[in-house]
Structure 1
């Protein structure tokens, strides 16, 4: 059993309080694991998903899910300190590979691994999986608003 298979730390309603995005633009709904350097988030694709086309969750949806997983890490970090999380922005996306598209009712699980964090700028590795098979990966740099 891996850390991401355990009971979730947070459900959809709780997760939505930790990220700046609001319905219908929420692309994370479960927090499975959190540590200072890593997070595992989930998203189950429902028929009202913004990026659902012909029963497939398209590339831009996967990228947004990845970005919101990073935002969830920051939001939970601030939640644990009883502080309001600042808004963050994507600074850059590098080495992005999308190898497969999930379908309606599939759950994507994404692991965010912090590579470096300094002065409000965070560099992360991101891997998204469907049924334990990698469907996307890349690096993202995010910047917190001052």
Structure 2
């Protein structure tokens, strides 16, 4: 696993170039580390996030953060090859377990682990933590548009 160059580490603007979503739908703002098989992303909960309600990020926002972390892996992979990343879609979400919802100004970190990749279809495990405590996990399958 390689740590992303420090100049990009907390650069929200750079991270946003790697995913197709735009404000107010962006649910990732940091890229901590990357390898071909794993990525660690971050997101600080802000009041202007589209899924922020009643002082916390709701379940749909947490799942969207997880999905955008997967998209960030693909986006950074294509960035390293100096290529435009294709659009991707969630093919399925499986075994999602949410234990806690993050509150305003808290930072969540998500680890995406690639389990299998073939023909533009990727199966991943996704684990989200808050202060090093697991708050959500699950599996996602994504499909790249041709």
Q: What is the TM-score of this pair, normalised by structure 1?
A: 0.94
Aligned residue-pair number: 143
1:8 & 1:41 partners in 2: Cα distance? 15
The 8 Å contact of residues 8 and 33 in structure 1, kept in 2 or not, is answered as no
Q: How does 1:1-146 map to 2 (within 5 A)?
A: 9-10=8-9, 11-146=11-146
Q: TM-score, normalised by structure 2?
A: 0.94
Q: Deviations over 1:43-91 (max 9, x none)?
A: 0011101111110110000000000000000000000000000000000
Q: Whole-Å Cα distance in 2 between the matches of residues 139 and 8 of structure 1?
A: 31
Partner deviation per Cα, 1:101-120 (whole Å, 9 max, x = no partner): 00000001000000000000
Give 5+ residue unaligned stretches, structure 2.
none
Listed as ranges, the gaps of 5+ residues in structure 1 are none
